[in-house]
Structure 1
Amino acid sequence: MIATFLWMVGAILSFSLMAIAGRELSHQINTFELLFFRGLFGLIVITTIISLCDNFRHFQTQQIKGHFLRNLFHFLGQYTWFIGLGLLPLAQVFAIEFTVPFWTAIIAAIFLNECLTIRKVCAILIAFSGVLLIVQPPLDRFEGASLIVLGAAIFYACAHSGTKYLARHNHPLTILFYMCLIQTPIAGVLMLPNWTMPNAFEWSWISVVAMTALSAHFCMTKAMLTSAVTTVVTLDFLRLPLIALVGFFAYNEPFGMLSIIGSLVILIAMLINFQKATKK
């Protein structure tokens, strides 16, 4: 349990630092430029790891179309997530992001023929009610931005379903390699019309995004290997109060009672969903 907690501390700090860096860069450089450097750093690191391990077969795949489709959705998810960081309070972005498992369940049921049980449907409906409490569609001045982040959650869910499909025949390193290989040139082409050379301040935050993108997923994977999914998901939810405090003290961002209640509702839905998964 101690090992799981320590790995989750690493993951939570990594995700939070990535969000802060994204916020700091949101009005400084083009988002495509940020994604390009993030992907390039990842490509260099993953290629080096595969080469040092002498596992060159991880560069090969028979599902190149699947990789391309999966990474198209993942790229859109990253883009809209970073856009949302510049428009919404950090805690609200994280809260909406926590709906990803439920969108994934719906998409997997449609395209991967996974069973969508009554329990899962109830969890999805409960989570959606939590999102409504946080977003408050009729009154919230960030309504359009909330939809952008909700779109990011759906894009990420599509990418997760794609990962689940590709993992049947591809090593995790192969999936990561093709993620960086496909997304980096896409971001490179899209950033050209608005390219600006980053200054020292921007390079420092770009390096934070690049490093935390890898460390977050590495720590999360290690945590999954040391404990049950339910435990990991519950600990991961600690990201929300942490980023809410950062948003309050660093950016003077409000996080009202309805947002707190909505976040707790999403947490309850997540526990209902994963409790069923662990019983199978």
Structure 2
Amino acid sequence: MIFASLVFSVAYSFIKILTRELGFWETAFLRGALGFIILSTWLLRVRQPVLGHRANVWPLVSRGLFGGVAMILYFWSLKMTTLANASSLHYAHPLFTTFLAVPFLGERLNRGKVILVLLAMSGVLLIVQPTPALLKVGSLPALASALFASLAYVSISFVSSREHPAAIINALSLATMVLAAPMTLLAWTTPSPRLWGFVLVAGVLTTVAQFFMTMAYKLEQASTVSAFSFTSILWSLMIGALIFGEIPDRLEAFGIFILFGSLIALVLVRSRAASRTEVQEAVIVPKDI
């Protein structure tokens, strides 16, 4: 899982470059189109419906729309702020999922969860620094992407046991492509051969990362794998510093580490509570939105 998280972080560094040169709308469109082609080809090969089964249409639609909005917002934040800032705030979605799981999945909030949520929120505040003078551009779309990602993951929980995983991810690819298409057509920039190469590299890397992530969940307990998946925040911090020269200030760095630790603890607490009550856990994998 650590390797998968590293590969995802490297892929998003290429996407960050693409958003700067092509814009986040076109980057999201190309990412969705490439993913749709790859996944549709795979689903046809294994004789599964490309768009999923008809009985699961509404959960797939909601998963696709919420996830598509989350991806576009995340790409926007990658263009506007540092890789570490965008990554840490986007992967804060377990905060929202914890609250959404109460009405939708019947989970209960105990004192431990509330304390961890408050601790994580303090980390978010240190990262965002919400004052007129200090508010970091790009932080708000990153945080909004976390909210929509959590809505997408709750939607997945209603269909994950009844639908092929590739079809669920394909719903995201299709929705992202459709949502981004109008703005992409209005301001299309033909990618250079170099940028086409970046698009292909990002697509291949995310596909490879998805494979290793899937293998990790097959070989290890979900709570353990999910905790290690948050190393993406640390990888993004290092890649941002090495490649883009993005060095967080002291408050932001402190907030990132507070958020990192509290999210791991929150995921473990929620997973243990779900196993005790035999209530299906909302999908907490912070990958590919």
TM-score (norm 1): 0.87
CA deviations 1:217-254 (Å, max 9, x no partner) are 33222212222334323432332333222222322212
Residues 232-241 or 117-126, more deviating: 232-241
State the alpha-carbon separation in 1 of the partners of residues 257 and 32 from structure 2.
Answer: 34
Paired AA for residue 114 in structure 2: V
Q: Does 1:134 align with 2:136?
A: no
Answer yes or no: is the 8 Å Cα contact 2:5–2:229 preserved in 1.
Answer: yes
CA deviations 1:5-55 (Å, max 9, x no partner) are xx431x123221222112211221132222222122222222222222234
Answer yes or no: is the 8 Å Cα contact 2:223–2:268 preserved in 1.
Answer: yes
Residues 79-88 or 223-232, more deviating: 223-232
State the alpha-carbon separation in 1 of the partners of residues 143 and 70 from structure 2.
Answer: 10
Answer yes or no: is the 8 Å Cα contact 1:119–1:272 preserved in 2.
Answer: no
Instruction: Look up the match of 1:3.
Output: none
2:213 aligned to which of 214, 220, 225: 220
Paired AA for residue 118 in structure 1: R
State the alpha-carbon separation in 1 of the partners of residues 162 and 61 from structure 2.
Answer: 15
Secondary structure of the corresponding residue to residue 54 of structure 2: coil
Instruction: Look up the match of 1:125.
Output: 118
Secondary structure of the corresponding residue to residue 186 of structure 1: helix
State the alpha-carbon separation in 1 of the partners of residues 174 and 221 from structure 2.
Answer: 32
1:18 aligned to which of 11, 22, 25: 11
Secondary structure of the corresponding residue to residue 116 of structure 1: coil
Answer yes or no: is the 8 Å Cα contact 1:75–1:183 preserved in 2.
Answer: yes
Residues 193-202 or 131-140, more deviating: 131-140
1:278 aligned to which of 272, 280, 286: 272
Instruction: Look up the match of 2:21.
Output: 28
Could you list the structure 1 runs, at least 4 aligned residues long, displaced by more than 4 angstroms after superposition.
none
Instruction: Look up the match of 2:74.
Output: 81
What percentage of aligned pairs have identical amino acids?
25
Report how far residue 139 of structure 1 moved: 6.8
Paired AA for residue 256 in structure 1: D
Segments of structure 1 that go 5 or more residues without pairing to the other structure are 1-6
State the alpha-carbon separation in 2 of the partners of residues 95 and 103 from structure 1.
Answer: 14
Instruction: Look up the match of 2:252.
Output: 259
Instruction: Look up the match of 1:8.
Output: 2
CA deviations 1:148-184 (Å, max 9, x no partner) are 1111111111111111122243222221233333332
1:1-280 superposed matches below 5 A: 7-9=1-3, 11-56=4-49, 59-138=52-131, 141-276=134-269, 277-278=271-272, 280=276
State the alpha-carbon separation in 1 of the partners of residues 205 and 51 from structure 2.
Answer: 23
Answer yes or no: is the 8 Å Cα contact 2:224–2:268 preserved in 1.
Answer: no
Answer yes or no: is the 8 Å Cα contact 1:58–1:173 preserved in 2.
Answer: no
Answer yes or no: is the 8 Å Cα contact 2:68–2:175 preserved in 1.
Answer: no
